[in-house]
Structure 1
Amino acid sequence: MATKLYNPFLDFHFDNKTCFLTGQALHSDKDHIQVFPEWMMDSFELADKPFKMLDESMTTYGQLQLPCTPEVAEKFHALEASIQEAARKGYEGMKAIPQLELFQWIGKMLYGVVFNEIQVGIRQSFLSGEQMNFSQALVQKFKNLHAMLQSILVPLEFEHKNPFTVEVFPVDNAENTFMYRDEINTLIYSLRMGDFGLIATLQDNGTHAIYHEEVLEKVKGHTLHPIQFEEICARYFYSAYLFNRLPEYTYMEVPEKVFVEPMPLNDWTMKPIFDNWQVKTYGQVLENFWKPWGYTLFEIIKNPDSPMSFIQDADGNFRSSIDLPKE
């Protein structure tokens, strides 16, 4: 039986003449899609804005593309139209989108960045004459992300639990807000726009939602000030760094679908799934996320036992009143 899933990491095939998702040969230079949705780039005038790559070189949002067949492009265009309509409705619209569709939408953007980063690495390797050095752990993460992204073409059934989680929050953003972050090494993504914010962990089998259960419960039912949402983002991005497992998945193909089963995260070492939380390091992350409001690391961790928070007050209750500008 021919395999249903394409794996470009077997021979590191990342050219512009091959569909990134299926491996099929392309017949036109126009066979591609944008990494970032066109409607999003139009809404926030992103196309010509600079985008920094990992090697410090600069490109633009509009130059980030993925080569693909017309069939794949059609699938993603349909998904984009659905997400665009949901985003127009705001928080309630985005909250109603199924998790798998949110994963496919976010996964295409994050994998699109990965694909373009790999292309840059391959070009640099060719020019320098040196072999490209690529972490096998990252290869495994990206391979799994790519396989799961093929769910837009091939029916995939995730057994027991989804490998990914997308949390959507109501946020009182300033008009025309667009704040996007990703971390391709840890496969985490955040976006703040309209009247919502979202945080996606794309390969953790839901463990971050459990790890941050207390804060998620505390903000439940509340519309967040942007500084509160950014605090949650800081917690997630830091815990993604502390996450010390490399998730593994088994793929079982049957004629009508592919079953994807996550392997247990607990291993023989009995180490906790997350490394120890360090207040100073968390404070440095939070300082970066709070840049629009100018809070320094010294202010944030002045009391190391109780770092600064806009989510909860001294008594541990949700802070519903915040006297700060939105940005």
Structure 2
Amino acid sequence: MAARIYKPFDLFNFSNRNCFLTGQALSSTEEKIQVFPQWLMSMYALEDKPFKMLDESMATYKDLKIPCAANVNEQYLEPLEADVANAFANGYKGVKSLDSLKLFQWVGKLLYGIIFNEIQAGIKMQHAQGEEFSMSQAIIHKFGQLHLMLQSLNQPIHFEDFTPYSLFLFQVDNQPEEFGYRDEINTQTFALRIKDFGLVMCLQDNGANARYHQKIYKQIKDDRLHPIQFEEFSARVFYSAYLFNRLPEYNILPVGEEVYIEAMPLRGMSSKPLFDDWIVKTYGQVLENFWKNWGFLLFEIIKDPEHPKSFLFNADGNRISTEDINLPR
């Protein structure tokens, strides 16, 4: 049987009558799963906590659901959730030993679930105003590529000699009850800081952000970080994901029941660098947001524009030890 790729963005099908992953018709519009898995919500009592949508409206974590066929959930998603839950239960060591493709699928399912809910809300709002819902072609292309790669969950999809994501994982000295979550769906960037670890992932960059930050990551990846250090590194990655100016393209090669995805060169026909220029003031604004827990303001962060405030490296470029940071965790 030939591989069948489901493309929800071709028909803009975001109803509750079709499975989000396969497109198959559902027996009921109530056939749904949670975007944030129950095991994670229970661990941090997230169910009734507020979750801000892009239109500034508020939902709760438990409100976020996506239509999913029961057989798809049982066969593909529940085993993935079990593997990730088991890895998270074992903290940093468990996550480090987890297949990074599974982590990509798990993060991808979560981010795509948020995207699905945002699109549904947008369609509803526009229709209420008598308008047609519209999105930029670049965003449609990007979200469509994520959905394609997410289908590696339920069919044999192979990434030919490339990794579609950048992953950064650290040991972090977190408070036991803390749930640190952040995402940026337009750049498909995700950060999670819980238990004794923190991870940052860029979902659709073909490893470009990993290469961009490889020098710094190599210097700190084996250290146990203070939370403010992890947030600083996260801010760097979220900002570089914003500066990344390519829209990755792929050759999709169905071969019988299997699908091979081949990445086109990111440079393409352009001689322009892959990342726009790093602007210290803009980075400082990003960092101010990531450092909200500690109350640092922009003017403190960029007082010396040549050396913005850092808890990772001192002015000489030397690593700052976690033990030398006298701030709350």
Give yes or no for TM over 0.5.
yes
Equivalent position amino acid for 2:324 in 1? I
> What is the TM-score when the length of structure 1 is the normalising length?
0.97
Does the CA contact (< 8 Å) of 1:173 and 1:326 recur in 2? Answer: no
Provide closer, same or farther for how the CA distance between residues 78 and 3 of structure 1 changes in structure 2, counting only shifts above 3 A. closer
Alignment-derived partner of residue 284 in structure 1 = 285
Alpha-carbon distance between aligned partners in 1 of 2:224 and 2:243, rounded to the nearest angstrom: 28
One-letter code aligned to 2:235: A
CA distance in 1 between counterparts of 2:93 and 2:199 reads 12
Conserved in 1, the CA contact under 8 Å of 2:6 and 2:22? yes
Matched, 1:325 2:327: yes
Structure 2 CA distance, aligned partners of 1:138 and 1:322?
Answer: 43
- By how many angstroms is 1:178 displaced? 0.5
How many residue pairs end up in the alignment? Answer: 327
Q: What residue number does 1:179 align with?
A: 180
| Partners of 2:139 and 2:186 within 8 A in 1 | yes
Once the two structures are superposed, residues 154-199 of structure 1 have per-residue CA deviations (whole angstroms, 9 ceiling, x without a partner) of: 1111011111122211100012110111111001000000000000
Runs of 5+ unmatched residues, structure 1: none
Letter in 2 for 1:60: T
SS at match of 1:9: helix
Q: How does 1:108-127 map to 2 (within 5 A)?
A: 108-127=109-128
Aligned to 1:219: 220
Write out aligned runs for 1:123-162 (5 A): 123-162=124-163
Cα distance in 2 for residues equivalent to 1:71 and 1:169: 35
2:190 is matched with which residue? Answer: 189
Q: CA deviation at 1:127?
A: 1.0
**1:260 to 2:265 alignment:** no
Deviations 1:71-113 (A, max 9, x none): 2211111111111111111000001111110011000110000
Instruction: Name stretches of at least 5 consecutive residues in structure 2 with no aligned partner.
Output: none
Q: Is the 8 A contact 1:225 1:322 kept in 2?
A: no
Q: Aligned residue for 1:63?
A: 63
Structure 2 match to 1:303: 304
Within 1, Cα distance between the matches of 2:328 and 2:34?
A: 30
Asked if the contact 2:108–2:203 (Cα under 8 Å) also holds between the matched residues in 1, the reply is: yes
Q: Structure 1, residues 287-317: CA drift from partner, whole Å, max 9, x if none?
A: 1100111111111111111111101122212
Whole-Å Cα distance in 2 between the matches of residues 326 and 256 of structure 1?
A: 54
Aligned to 2:23: 23
User: What is the DSSP-based 3-state SS (H/G/I as helix, E as strand, rest coil) of the residue aligned with 2:59?
Assistant: strand
**Counterparts of 1:48 and 1:241, CA distance in 2:** 31
Partner of 1:73: 73
Amino acid at match of 2:40: M
**Percent of residue pairs bearing the same amino acid type:** 54
2 CA distance for matches of 1:256 and 1:130? 41
Matched, 1:32 2:38: no
